[in-house]
Amino acid sequence: MRAVACRDRSVALRRGGAGLLLVLLTALSTLVVGSPAHAATTPCSPDDATACLNVTVTVPGTGPAAGVALEVEGEDGTVTATTDDAGKVSVALTTAGDYTVTVDESTLPAGTVLRDPDENPAVVTVALGRSAGRIVQVVPPGQAPPSGQTETASPSAGPTTGAAGTDLDAGAEAEASAEASAGPGTNRYAQLVLAGTVFGVLLALAALGANLIYGTTGLSNFAHGELVTLGGMTAFMAVQWWDLPLWLAIVVSTAAGGLAGWLLNRVVFGPLRRRGVGVTQQMIVTIGLSLAMLSGFLFFFGARPAPIVSGISQRMQIGPVQISGQSLVSVGIALVVLAVVAFALARTRLGRATRAVSDNPALAAATGIKVEAVISRVWIVSAALASLGGVLLALYLNTTRFNFGSTLLLLMFAAITLGGLGSPLGAVLGALVIGLVVELSTLVLPSDMRYASALVILILVLLLRPQGILGRAERIG
């Protein structure tokens, strides 16, 4: 009877945590889905021979500024364009270098001026295979700062263009992989299926750790996204600052993630469990930890994108699709690691102990399994997987930044919820579905809304089948 009571309390705690998780995810998804998102009239997709310069003109507190004339001058000559209803212009360039962006102030909305006219024109550097960007703010005359008083960012953030416009270098557009762009000789639908499969496999690697932690402790770790960022940023430092080869940077990043997981369990969550702190309270701790780590990344690395390698690797034609060698290697590494984890869970002593703790911690402890030791190892492995996933995702998306993992966190939660909370195989299947939905949704939705489609699936799953594809339905009482 005592074992039954313990199980009932555990189930109740997990259900309570899941309820709070649903509320938090719904609020966050509302922010993402509810934000106005528009695509430029003629969006540009970067590839080996093309760079994209994206300019957005906006009135703070009001919205986009349409009909503003711009002139882009550089190695490709002079291009004139006008912002669309979303206040955006997307210019395809075929030569890397510095380009001068000039805003025609006579075409600004009535009653507005540039927030910083000293920064017009501005110089933006573009590279082939990547997107660069600039945000131009226009304000009523009384809100413009005096001439010469330009707001600047911290040195760690890299060079900026002042308050009137901020160089995005890749901006949100950098989070779209080159694999999703259909180059010459490719079929668009097949290319998107390939991109979705690749993204799903890499997302599965990053999400698997969060599912292992939930399975053994019942904790939904909102700081898991920052462990993904840790991997990407460590690889960036290893390659760009320490001049290490990429393979060694991947090893260092994975080890750093494992060390971070051990420290988190040893210093924070292990003591909380021993003190009897509930899962819901621990989840709130992970939210605070996530915000602290996010602020730390922003402080040390700034807000600018931090690509691990310069440029993109050569793309290979395989039938109706193209894939870069870099992405091919990343997928190969991810598949090998996922296979090793699956074998370890099914065939090794630690794997069997992990599954026993996941099924019933009290019964596992009664049979002689050291539950705390198993949980500690799960934290190490989970954080290492997250960091490795962060490196491979950063290589696939061609960049990383301070909030890289947090932007993918809801996608990871959607994947493990769709597949089944606590089910490692379910996390992989859910991530594949999410990856395909994210990429294929661009056929009917603007690319900047592609993540929102996955969040809609998350909400539908929680409403229609809360246990997910491979999860088990549980009943209290």
What does the alpha-carbon distance between residue 83 and residue 87 come to, in Å, rounded to a whole number?
Answer: 5
Spatial contact of 134 and 161, defined as CB atoms under 8 Å apart: yes
Residue 176's pLDDT band (cuts 50, 70, 90)? low
The two three-digit tokens of residue 340, written as one number: 């090793």
- pTM as predicted: 0.67
Angle 325-347/188-217 helices, nearest 10 degrees? 30
Domain range 51-175, CATH architecture: Sandwich (2.60)
More confident residue, 325 or 203: 203
Which contacts of 118-123 are long-range, i.e. CB under 8 A and separated by 24 or more positions? 118/147, 118/148, 118/150, 118/162, 118/164, 119/150, 119/161, 119/162, 119/163, 119/164, 119/165, 120/164, 122/161, 122/162, 122/164, 122/165, 123/98, 123/99, 123/161
Helices then strands (H, E): number in the chain? Answer: 13, 12
For the chain, give every domain's residue range: 2-36+179-464, 51-175
Assess whether pLDDT exceeds 60 at residue 375.
yes
- What percent of the chain has a predicted confidence (pLDDT) above 90? 32
Is it true that 2-36+179-464 and 51-175 share their CATH fold?
Answer: no
Q: Provide the sign of the torsion angle of the four alpha carbons 473, 207, 442, 318, taken in this order.
A: negative
What's the topology of domain 2-36+179-464?
ABC transporter involved in vitamin B12 uptake, BtuC (1.10.3470)
Q: Which of 392, 206, 387, 229 is nearest to 295 (CA)?
A: 229
More confident residue, 104 or 470: 104
What does the alpha-carbon distance between residue 467 and residue 18 come to, in Å, rounded to a whole number?
Answer: 11
Residue 17's pLDDT band (cuts 50, 70, 90)? very low
pLDDT for position 472:
62
- What one-character DSSP code corresponds to residue 50? B
pLDDT digits (tens, 9 = 90+) for 101-111: 999 888 888 87
What does the alpha-carbon distance between residue 254 and residue 263 come to, in Å, rounded to a whole number?
Answer: 14
State the residue for tokens 């025609």: 104
Assess whether pLDDT exceeds 80 at residue 183.
no
The two three-digit tokens of residue 303, written as one number: 């807000």
More confident residue, 234 or 8: 234
67 HSE (CA, 13 A, CB side): 5
- What percent of the chain has a predicted confidence (pLDDT) above 70? 79
Average pLDDT over residues 379-396: 94
State the residue for tokens 């290589």: 395
Spatial contact of 83 and 67, defined as CB atoms under 8 Å apart: yes
pLDDT for position 178:
58
Assess whether pLDDT exceeds 70 at residue 238.
yes
323-332, 367-376, 379-388, 454-463: which is most confident: 379-388
